[in-house]
Amino acid sequence: MRPGWKGAAAAAPARFAPKGFLLARLIELFGTGMATPRGLEAQRLAIELTPLGFVTAAQLSTWFNSRKSRMSKETRKGDEKATAAAI
């Protein structure tokens, strides 16, 4: 067995998948150009968003990083299609 491996008894934590008002608020914040929240800013934001659904500072940082990555990936794909169409 691998060191630190707990086997089937250790369940993985649930994946963070915001829904409803929490997702809408996160998208709104992202759309304003807000950078990935870090440290105290992430903690403050997590406390502010808790009434909309359970969220931690780490989950917020991960969500913003993932969203930024997806947006840049979509932009690159769009640029590649435009370049291919122009050729």
What is the distance between the alpha carbons of residues 35 and 32, in angstroms, rounded to a whole number? 9
Summarised one tens digit per residue, pLDDT across range 30-79 is 999 988 999 999 999 999 999 999 999 999 999 999 999 999 998 888 87
Identity of the residue numbered 4:
G
What is the distance between the alpha carbons of residues 20 and 23, in angstroms, rounded to a whole number? 5
pTM of the model as a whole:
0.72
Summarised one tens digit per residue, pLDDT across range 15-30 is 888 899 999 999 999 9
* Residue ranges covered by each domain of the chain: 18-86
- Name which of 28, 6, 23, 10 is nearest 59 in CA terms: 23
Provide the pLDDT confidence category of residue 1 given band limits of 50, 70 and 90: very low
